[in-house]
Structures are given as structure tokens and as C-alpha cells.
Amino acid sequence: MVTALSLSVAAIVFILLGTRAQSARQRRANDIARIRLQAALNAVPVEFVEYDKDRRLVLANQAARNASPWSVPGAASGKTIDEVMGTYVTHFATPDTAEAWKSWAAESVAAFHRGGVSDSLRPDGQWRRSYVSDMPGGGRVVVRADVSEIKRHEEQLAAETALLRSVLESTGAGILMLDRELRVVLANQFVLDVQGMTPEQLIGRSYLDLVVAGLDRDVILRWQNASGAERLAPVVFERASETAAGAKRIFRSTANPVQDADGRLRYIVIIGVDDTERRLAEIRLIDSARMVNLGEMATGMAHEINQPLAIIRLAAESLIEEFDTPEAAAMGPDLLELAHGKLARISAQTERAATLVNELRSVARKPTDNPVPFDVNESVRVANNLLHEQLKASRIYLDIDVPTAPMMARGETARLQQVLINLVLNARDAVLENVSASAGPLGHISIRVAASGSSVRIAVEDDGPGIPEAVRGRVFEPFFTTKPTGKGTGLGLSISYDIVKRMGGEITAANRPARGARFEVVLPLVLPLVLPLVTAGPP
């Protein structure tokens, strides 16, 4: 019995001794593992800090200690996160940077409690990217990497990107980059404004859906199929488009294919400029040349026509003189009076024909850059003389109302006549657009001139359908017209607007209260020069 008990006790003692030995070995193994882990963590070039569930410092590797005020291992062990960050303020802060360090420490504590990834800029100019993760048992691990170099590269890249963006935005041209599948990958503000879109709306959209799209699809297909040593050449094209604001513009663009090392299409860069004004100037130059040619033709016609007209008039006047001789009395008073009246009418009509030819020549006179005073009333009368018969044939009544006293403006009378003729012919087209066959006049047009302060106002009114409200603000835009295709270029009112502006005036369009349209030209009056009265003094 005793022997059995002794054996049992001995077994227990043996087990206990073995267990203690095993525990000691385990502790040694754990210590060795911890030492190895510490060595491994010290070799890692990023900061590694571990806190327990009470947010007290448990472990910090060499990189973390080098970046902190406590480089000795274990110097900050047991401190809370708030105390640890406070040591940074105490150690690194100067009177000038104390507030910055306090703010940074508070931000770091908040990031620790928040967890996840965050970037912070230390007051000494170093950037840290922190990764805060939860550990089993409630503790937390903070891994910090020095990203100062990355941030400097990012700032440099951002500055270069901003510079590139400023260049793209300041060119005055539209810049569009497409990928191989014609999706938009870049667009400057010029393109965004034309499209009426935000970058988010435009990026990724197909080029073929854009209002500025004008690159030939055969060219695109050929570029997409290219490979090898073939170098693709840029293509120039034009496109007339209506912008998001509703304005009609002409864009002239150059498409540049960008190829990779294998010769395959990678990108298409399109640079476009608004060519509307240049085209308009070109058309105005053609208009001026046309006026010059018309003037030369009118001068030649005037010379050719005036000669037979002068002969006809001279013959008529000579016959009238012959009817005053005694021999003509044998014709009888009735026949004599009839012949006399017919000849007088022939003489008057030849005089009127000669006047019209000369007025046509004055309207077509070559424009100059030297404005001079001219009588607005006389310009209206000439325009009336040239248009009267044409409007009469269209059964439209033209009425003019001009003061007897001259209304002097500065510019070119021929150019104002061109404006008035254009306005009247536009009014004629508007009147005839919606009329049905009927007896009598089909419509009425009036030109009225009146002084208003230091200006002279010329109003051209009609009783046509008026200007649609939706387009009234655009009637002076280049290439804009409400006429059917083939019946209007959209340049008449634009050129008229330019002429009036060059004279220092304004031209406006509105609808009359009752019916019809009203165009008004306002020009500065040239006041007559009043010389001071000089009286003779005493001798």
C-alpha cells in the first residue's frame, strides 16, 4: 500500500518536474521567437508600433524609435498614445512651431482611433502614411512609411499637370484626345463649352456623338487598321456645328494620330480652332471685292447707257423745240399737245434712268477707311429710288418719312444704303413668305428717320409675320438664317451689323406690338460747326 502510494507520488513529482522543464523550454523558445521578431522588425525600414487594448505602447521597432524622441528600446513602453504623441511636442517643438506640433499630435491621435490609412505632414516637412490595424485581444498596430519623396513627386507631377492644363486652356483652341476606340480621354475647357458638358459627362463618351465630330470615318478606319512601319499623317478637316448655346460656328481642326512602337494607333489628338470670324472676314472681303466689281460695272454701264439716253433726250428736246415753230401749227392743237406731252415724258424718263444709273454706281462705290459726314436722309431717298419699282412689282408698298433738314452722320453713304437695301429686301421676303394670292398690295414696308438727342434713328418696319422669339437674339449672328435652305446665307444682317458698328452706331431687332418686325439703326449725329460771333472792338 505504502509502496503504491510512494510510486504515485513519485510519478506526480516526475510529471511536475517535466512540466516545469517543458514550460521553461517554451519560455525560452518564446523569448527567442520574440527576439527574432524584434530583430526582424528592427530590420524593416518602416515604423512599426504596437499598442495593447488599453492603448499603451508595447513595442516599437528601430525605425519608429529613430523617428521619435526616444531612441532607446523600451524608453516609452507603457505610455498611452496621447502620452507618446505628447513626447513629440515636448522634444521637437520650438516657440515658432509649438502650435503646429500640437495640431499634428492631435491629428495623429485622431487617426489612431479612427483606424485605416491616412497621410499627415509633420511640421518638420516629413510626410508619413499610417496604416492602423486591429490586433487579436483588442490591441492596435501602427505601421508608418515615410512618403516624403512620393509626396514631392506628386506635388511636382501636380505642378506639371497644372502647367500643362494652363497651356491647354490658354491656347484659344479646342484640344481633344481620343483612345483607339474613339472614347474621349481628355478635353480642355474650350471643348467642354462647345459641348455644354462637364468633364465627368464628356470623358468616356464616343467622339462620334459629339457636335464637333467631323473626322472622316474612312480615315478613322484606316488609322485603326494601320500597323508596322507605316507612319500616319495628320488630317485637316472643317465642320460647321451648332454649339450648346445654339450659336452656329465653323471649326477648322487637325487630327494627329499617335502610334505605339509597333505602329498601331494608340491615340488621336484633335486640335481645333473657331474659324468663324476668319471665314466671315473672308466673306466680307469677297463682298467688298464684289462691290468694287459692281461699281466698275456700274461705271461702265453708266457710260454706255448715258450716251444713248443723252441722244434720246436730246432728240426729244429738239422735237419739243420744233413743235414751237410756226410750221408745227399745221398739226392741229390736239395732236400737237399729245406729241408735246409724249416727248416731255420721254425726256423726263431718260433723265430718271440716268439718275438711277448714277445712284447705283454710288451704292457700289469701293469702300474706304476714311469716314466723312453724309446726309442720312439722302441715303434713304437713294435706297427708295433703287427699290421702289422692284417692290412695286412684288405688290409691296414702300413708304419713306424723312425730315426736310439734313441729318448728318459720319461714315459712308454707300454703306448705309447697303444696310437699308438689305433690311428692306429681308422685310420683303418676310412679307411674301406667308401671303396668299389676293388683289391689292400684299404688304407694307416703311423707312422713317428721326432725330433723338445726339443721334439719328432709322427705323425699317414691315407688317409681315415678325421674328420668332426663340431666334430674335441671334439674327445678327454670322451664318444664321430663318430662310429655307438655298435662299439665305445668314450673312446679310451680320454684315449690316458690322457696317453700323464701324460707324459708331447700333442696330437692333424687335417685333412690332401689332404685327411685323422693326429694325432700328442708331447713328451719332454730326452736329454743325458753330463759329463764335466776332465783334469789332473800339478803334
C-alpha cell at 138: 483588442
pLDDT value for 307: 67
Q: d(Cα 498, Cα 284) in Å, to the nearest integer?
A: 10
Count, residues in the chain = 539
Closest CA to 410 of 455, 365, 449, 380: 455
**Could you write out the DSSP letters of every residue in 140-183?**
EEEEEEE-HHHHHHHHHHHHHHHHHHHHHHHSSSEEEEEETT-B
Closest CA to 387 of 418, 351, 430, 345: 418
Assess contact for 246 and 258: CB atoms under 8 A: no
Q: d(Cα 476, Cα 461) in Å, to the nearest integer?
A: 17
Report how far Cα 280 is from the mean position of its chain's Cα atoms: 17
Sheet containing 443-452, strands listed edge to edge, beginning at the edge strand earlier in sequence: 396-401, 443-452, 455-462, 517-524, 506-511
Buried b (16+ CB within 10 A) or exposed e, 10-28: eeeeeeeeeeeeeeeeeee
Sheet containing 57-60, strands listed edge to edge, beginning at the edge strand earlier in sequence: 57-60, 47-51, 140-146, 127-134, 116-121
> How many CB atoms sit inside 10 A of residue 238's CB?
12
pLDDT value for 460: 94
Classified as helix, coil or strand, 370 is coil
Closest CA to 356 of 345, 368, 366, 348: 348
Assess contact for 205 and 177: CB atoms under 8 A: no
In tens digits, what is the pLDDT along the chain, a chain of 539 residues?
A: 555 555 565 556 566 556 666 677 777 776 677 777 777 777 888 999 999 999 999 989 988 888 888 877 778 889 999 999 999 999 999 999 999 999 999 999 999 999 999 999 999 999 999 999 999 889 999 999 999 999 998 888 888 878 887 887 888 899 999 999 999 999 999 999 999 999 999 999 999 999 889 899 999 999 999 988 889 999 999 888 878 877 778 899 999 999 998 999 999 999 999 888 887 777 666 666 565 555 555 565 665 666 677 777 777 777 777 666 776 666 667 776 777 777 777 877 777 676 666 655 665 555 555 678 999 999 898 888 878 878 888 888 999 999 989 999 988 888 888 889 889 988 888 888 766 656 667 889 999 999 988 899 999 999 888 888 877 777 887 766 766 554 555 677 888 888 898 889 999 999 998 889 999 999 999 865 444 444 444 43
State the virtual CA torsion across 107, 110, 116, 122 in degrees, nearest 10.
20
Report how far Cα 253 is from the mean position of its chain's Cα atoms: 15
Report how far Cα 505 is from the mean position of its chain's Cα atoms: 26
3-state helix, strand, coil in the chain (%, to 5): 50, 20, 30
pLDDT value for 264: 93
C-alpha cell at 290: 464684289
Q: For the whole model, what pTM was predicted?
A: 0.48
Assess contact for 324 and 316: CB atoms under 8 A: no
How many helices and strands (H and E) does the chain possess? 13, 17
Q: What sign does the dihedral 446-449-452-454 (CA atoms) show?
A: positive
Closest CA to 362 of 422, 408, 414: 414
Q: d(Cα 380, Cα 458) in Å, to the nearest integer?
A: 9
pLDDT value for 505: 92
Classified as helix, coil or strand, 482 is coil
